[in-house]
Amino acid sequence: MRGGLRYIIALLVAGFSLVTYYCKRQTNPVTGEVQHVNMTTEQEIALGLQAAPQMAQQYGGLHPDQQAQASIDRIGAELVQASGAAQSPYKFNFHLLADENTVNAFALPGGQIFLTAGLLRRLGTEGQVAGVLAHEVGHVIGRHSAEQLAKTQLTQGLAGAAGIAAYDPERPGSSVANAAVAAAIAKVVSLRFGREDELESDRLAVKYTAEAGYDPRAMIQVMQILEQAGGGGRGPEFLSTHPNPGNRVGVLEREIAEQFPSGIPGGLKR
């Protein structure tokens, strides 16, 4: 393929990817944010329900402790009912996973939220549990999975365009360099979006915990617990799936101060 034609095709691929991404926009019914997503809330719910059994199996299935599960359900329901999440189209379900060793929590699109027993046993108060669950509710309300799917398609298109533009038929080894360029582009774009999602989930979690009667400062304690769980080495899985943009505790402290300029209301549960 001649250089000029190669570049034209690369530009067309990149342009199509960008136009497709930026033209698919929906207004979030809870946050009011205009987002780039290419699936409906009904599709999110169906995707989450379909993936939930497989995800649970990866962590040893559901935990047999019905009393602990009931507590998770109660705290989760309080968070949803007291916040804007109740006005969303999502049906939230909270699952305690049997894995005692993995420290993690995550949300699937549509309202399926998971917490491992390994993380739960490190949490000392209901407020800390509420902080973790509220953060995951924030991911669902923020439609972060749907956004990430759209962004993945965008990065794949841009990476493909970069590979086409960089390929040199007279230098077969260039295909390896092309793959590196494509991977670098995808990594940079995905990292940027991941940080934004985490910050939005933190902001929503601060709001949701307080609305449900829990002290949002418990979230700071959760971050300290997770740091200790890392032991200075490889951090817990929670921190690998939840990128930490700088000083997470500082971010939370600033967010709490902004949302409660007159101080935390009295009587909140920790």
Return the higher-pLDDT residue of 16 and 92: 92
Instruction: Tell me the C-alpha distance between 197 and 139, whole Å.
Output: 7
pLDDT tier, 146 (very low <50, low <70, confident <90, very high otherwise) = confident
Distant-in-sequence, close-in-space partners of 103: CB < 8 Å, separation ≥ 6: 116, 118, 119, 122, 226, 229, 236, 237, 238
Say if residue 7's pLDDT is above 70.
no
**Residues belonging to the active site:** 136
Average pLDDT over residues 40-53: 93
Please report the pLDDT score of residue 189 as a whole number. Answer: 46
Percent of the chain residues topping a pLDDT of 90: 51
Copy the structure tokens of residue 181. 């360029």
Average pLDDT over residues 110-127: 96
Residue 96's SS3 state is strand
Calculate the alpha carbon distances from 159 to 37, 180, 185, 190, 211 in Å: 19, 10, 6, 12, 43
Contact status, residue 129 vs residue 209, Cβ threshold 8 Å? no
Please report the pLDDT score of residue 74 as a whole number. Answer: 98
Please report the pLDDT score of residue 145 as a whole number. Answer: 84
Average pLDDT over residues 77-100: 95
Beta-strand relationship, 105-108 and 112-116: antiparallel
Average pLDDT over residues 155-159: 68
Please report the pLDDT score of residue 43 as a whole number. Answer: 92
Distant-in-sequence, close-in-space partners of 148: CB < 8 Å, separation ≥ 6: 190, 193, 197
Instruction: Tell me the C-alpha distance between 180 and 190, whole Å.
Output: 15
pLDDT tier, 31 (very low <50, low <70, confident <90, very high otherwise) = confident
Percent of the chain residues topping a pLDDT of 70: 73
Say if residue 268's pLDDT is above 90.
yes
Classify residue 156 as exposed, middle or buried by CB count within 10 Å of its CB (0-12, 13-18, 19+).
middle
Please report the pLDDT score of residue 234 as a whole number. Answer: 46
Please report the pLDDT score of residue 259 as a whole number. Answer: 93
Say if residue 42's pLDDT is above 70.
yes
Please report the pLDDT score of residue 260 as a whole number. Answer: 95
Nearest to 128 by CA among 116, 136, 120: 120
Average pLDDT over residues 168-176: 55
Say if residue 48's pLDDT is above 70.
yes
Contact status, residue 105 vs residue 158, Cβ threshold 8 Å? no
pLDDT tier, 212 (very low <50, low <70, confident <90, very high otherwise) = very high
- The mean pLDDT of the chain is 82
Say if residue 177's pLDDT is above 80.
no
What residues form DSSP beta bridges with 114?
Answer: 95, 106
Please report the pLDDT score of residue 195 as a whole number. Answer: 74
Average pLDDT over residues 177-190: 51
